[in-house]
């Protein structure tokens, strides 16, 4: 019985099996919503109904998210329902991992669309803004399902190109335009490195589909081990850029600080997760360590990346004086945490759990980090400054929003107020499972350091005296709703973590 048949019968009653292509329904819904927004804009270029545009974007995004969640609960693409669904000759695959991350992408995109309704007031090109968000989300969902290096590159570009425009969306803001230009230039370089790495892998193996690469390496070996090693290293470099891993992180603080705050949250959580899901699939399927370790032990490469990334990211965040820039460097540190899933695979006794731990963290991180940036967007809407001191006494006038921000920050630090506590515990358990004590020690030390700078924001909001002249006279519905929704999800992931962890581990184990 195929997985689509099981999906159709999930309610307990017999139903007509769905065709395999319907497994791509979430991706299609993202793309069709983007096209619908462009059609609406062509009919009414100077739209006087911004609420309608936000509603179309949000409804389309939520529909895709709910479908991916429904598929995931029904076991679509999992071993128990017939295994992964392959489409287009195996170039695209729908399985538990792709659906898990598609749900994450859709959730973050929905929060961003809701928050942007208020944030974009007075801005032009709102339809284009929402369409770009949906196009980027479509690219993310395709990255999660990419089963070939060619598809991986195309989907990566589908994510990257709208992202450049979104960072530079505030055309009258010099910082936004400058950040967009820097992001574009560095992104173009990283795409070239990634494409050249793919070409070297193809030259050494003669295959682009991931499982075909592994099969060719097992049966015949590479035509030239040196070329293959350089190709794998360059592919890893392309992923390191997309995930803002050190030393490829230098674009992230500039881009996140200059971009509209909702886009900063979108890129630092959803876009980062997209880079990770593609890396998980490529390195576990195409380049298994037991096959390529003699050519390039990428476990060592990712171990070094993980330790250096989390350390430099957190130390840099601790020295910042601006909240948004602090969150930008903090996101670099969290990239280091998520890298543990790949770095610890070489010594793991339970590979599914180790990789699943990173998936758990990325899901929780998607809500708590996006929520933190949306709170910054709320502060910008109120005209609050960028530094820690500008947040002094903010809780006296916005206690609900400041409570939500406190949940985000303490959960990011790993305190038991949100799902971040359990996701970091899972990462620590993964390092123990693999005997990767260096990674475990780095995780503990850097989490303790992060508490120092996260607490500075909490102290400013709740303890310090209010800034003279601080007066909040409006409470934007969309931004407030998005911040509160993200906080509720972050908190609920603490008691409801077991379903998340079991789903992530099962989805990860299916790759091995």
Each residue's pLDDT tens digit, 81-94: 788 899 998 899 99
Give mean pLDDT, residues 334-350: 89
Work out the percent of the chain whose per-residue pLDDT is above 90: 63
Buried b vs exposed e over 438-468: b needs ≥16 C-beta within 10 Å? Answer: ebbebbeebbebbeebbebbbebbbeeeebe
pLDDT digits (tens, 9 = 90+) for 299-313: 899 999 999 999 999
Closest CA to 372 of 474, 454, 447: 454
304 falls within a domain = no
Buried b vs exposed e over 370-399: b needs ≥16 C-beta within 10 Å? Answer: bbbbbbbbbbbbbebebbbebbbbbbeebe
Q: Please write down the HEC assignment for all residues of 400-431.
A: HHHHHHHHHHHHHHCCCCCHHHHHHHHHHHHH
Residue 2 scores a pLDDT above 70: no
429 by Cβ neighbours in 10 Å (0-12 / 13-18 / 19+) ranks as: middle
Contact status, residue 268 vs residue 331, Cβ threshold 8 Å: yes
Helix (H) and strand (E) counts in the chain:
22, 2
**91 φ/ψ angles, rounded to the nearest 5 degrees:** -75, -25
Residue 7 scores a pLDDT above 60: no
Q: How many CB atoms lie under 10 A from the CB of residue 122?
A: 6
Closest CA to 171 of 49, 47, 258, 46: 258
Give mean pLDDT, residues 334-363: 91
157 falls within a domain = no
pLDDT digits (tens, 9 = 90+) for 98-115: 999 999 999 999 999 999
Residue that is written with structure tokens 């989907």 in the block: 155
Residue 14 scores a pLDDT above 70: no
Contact status, residue 80 vs residue 241, Cβ threshold 8 Å: no
User: CA-to-CA distance for 195 and 152, rounded, in angstroms?
Assistant: 10
Give mean pLDDT, residues 173-200: 91
Strands (E), 32-126: 85-87, 92-94
User: CA-to-CA distance for 229 and 212, rounded, in angstroms?
Assistant: 17
Contact status, residue 313 vs residue 332, Cβ threshold 8 Å: yes
314 falls within a domain = no
* Residue 472 structure tokens: 């909040």
* Residue 97 structure tokens: 């991992």
- Which has more pLDDT, 47 or 323? 323
Q: How many CB atoms lie under 10 A from the CB of residue 52?
A: 13
Which pLDDT value is given to residue 8? 45
* Residue 499 structure tokens: 């379903």
C-alpha distances (whole Å) from 458 to each of 13, 149, 204, 371, 387 are 51, 44, 53, 15, 13
Beta bridge partners of 86: 93
18 confidence band (pLDDT: 50, 70, 90)? confident
Residue 240 half-sphere exposure, CB side, CA atoms within 13 Å?
25
The number of domains in the chain is: 1
Would the CA dihedral through 135, 137, 138, 139 be positive or negative?
positive
512 falls within a domain = yes
10 confidence band (pLDDT: 50, 70, 90)? very low
Question: What pTM does this model have?
Answer: 0.93
What average pLDDT does the structure give for the chain?
A: 89
> Quick one: residue 244, left, alpha or beta (phi over 0 = left, psi -120 to 50 = alpha)?
left
User: CA-to-CA distance for 133 and 113, rounded, in angstroms?
Assistant: 8
Which pLDDT value is given to residue 366? 94
Residue 508 scores a pLDDT above 60: yes
Closest CA to 234 of 203, 191, 272, 275: 191
Residue 16 scores a pLDDT above 70: no
Residue that is written with structure tokens 């303490």 in the block: 410
Would the CA dihedral through 30, 31, 35, 38 be positive or negative?
positive
Residue 487 scores a pLDDT above 80: yes
User: CA-to-CA distance for 67 and 71, rounded, in angstroms?
Assistant: 6
User: CA-to-CA distance for 455 and 462, rounded, in angstroms?
Assistant: 10
369 falls within a domain = yes
* Residue 232 structure tokens: 């794998």
Q: Quick one: how far is CA 333 from the chain centroid?
A: 14
**% helix, strand, coil for the chain, step of 5:** 75, 0, 20
254 falls within a domain = no
Residue that is written with structure tokens 């929402």 in the block: 130
192 falls within a domain = no
The whole domain housing 402 covers 323-512
Give mean pLDDT, residues 496-510: 92
Strands (E), 61-204: 85-87, 92-94
372 falls within a domain = yes
Closest CA to 311 of 303, 301, 321: 303
- 85-87 and 92-94 strand pairing: antiparallel
Which pLDDT value is given to residue 122? 76
pLDDT digits (tens, 9 = 90+) for 19-45: 888 899 999 999 999 999 999 888 877
Buried b vs exposed e over 196-205: b needs ≥16 C-beta within 10 Å? Answer: bbbebbbebb
> Which residues have C-beta within 8 Å of that of residue 345, sequence separation ≥ 6?
284, 289, 299, 351, 354, 355, 434
User: CA-to-CA distance for 306 and 131, rounded, in angstroms?
Assistant: 34
Closest CA to 362 of 279, 441, 452, 437: 279
């Amino acid at each position: 019985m195929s997985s689509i048949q099981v999906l159709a019968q999930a309610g307990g009653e017999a139903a007509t099996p769905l065709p395999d292509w319907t497994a791509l329904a979430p991706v299609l819904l993202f793309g069709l919503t983007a096209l619908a927004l462009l059609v609406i804009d062509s009919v009414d270029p100077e739209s006087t109904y911004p609420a309608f545009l936000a509603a179309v974007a949000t409804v389309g995004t939520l529909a895709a998210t709910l479908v991916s969640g429904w598929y995931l609960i029904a076991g679509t693409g999992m071993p128990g329902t017939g295994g992964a669904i392959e489409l287009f000759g195996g170039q695209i695959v729908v399985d538990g991992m792709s659906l898990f991350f598609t749900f994450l992408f859709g959730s973050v995109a929905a929060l961003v669309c809701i928050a942007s309704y208020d944030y974009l007031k007075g801005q032009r090109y709102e339809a284009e803004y929402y369409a770009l968000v949906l196009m980027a989300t479509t690219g993310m969902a395709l990255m999660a399902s990419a089963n070939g290096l060619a598809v991986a590159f195309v989907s990566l570009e589908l994510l990257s190109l709208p992202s450049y425009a979104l960072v530079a969306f505030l055309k009258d803001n010099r910082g936004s335009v400058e950040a967009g230009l820097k992001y574009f230039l560095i992104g173009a370089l990283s795409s070239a490195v990634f494409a050249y790495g793919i070409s070297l892998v193809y030259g050494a193996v003669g295959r682009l589909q991931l499982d075909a690469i592994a099969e060719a390496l097992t049966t015949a070996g590479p035509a030239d081990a040196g070329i293959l090693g350089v190709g794998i290293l360059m592919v890893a470099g392309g992923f390191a850029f997309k995930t803002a891993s050190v030393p490829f992180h230098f674009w992230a603080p500039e881009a996140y600080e200059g971009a509209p705050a909702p886009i900063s949250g979108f890129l630092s959580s959803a876009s980062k997760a997209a880079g990770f899901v593609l890396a998980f699939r490529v390195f576990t399927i195409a380049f298994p360590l037991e096959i390529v370790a003699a050519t390039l032990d990428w476990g060592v490469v990712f171990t070094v990346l993980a330790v250096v990334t989390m350390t430099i990211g957190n130390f840099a965040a601790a020295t910042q004086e601006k909240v948004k820039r602090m969150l930008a460097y903090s996101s670099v540190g969290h990239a280091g945490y998520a890298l543990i899933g790949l770095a610890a695979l070489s010594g793991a006794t339970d590979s599914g759990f180790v990789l699943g731990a990173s998936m758990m963290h990325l899901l929780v991180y998607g809500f708590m980090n996006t929520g933190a940036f949306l709170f910054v967007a709320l502060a910008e809407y109120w005209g609050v400054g960028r530094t820690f001191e500008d947040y002094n006494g903010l809780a006296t006038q916005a206690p609900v929003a400041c409570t939500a921000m406190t949940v985000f920050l303490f959960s990011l630090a790993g305190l038991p107020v949100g799902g971040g506590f359990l996701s970091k515990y899972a990462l620590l358990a993964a390092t123990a499972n693999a005997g990767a004590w260096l990674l475990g020690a780095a995780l503990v030390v850097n989490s303790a350091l992060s508490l120092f700078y996260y607490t500075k924001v909490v102290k400013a909001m709740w303890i310090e005296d209010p800034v003279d002249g601080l007066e909040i006279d409006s409470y934007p519905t969309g931004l407030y709703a998005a911040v509160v929704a993200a906080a509720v999800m972050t908190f609920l992931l603490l008691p409801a973590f077991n379903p998340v962890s079991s789903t992530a581990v099962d989805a990860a184990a299916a790759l091995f």
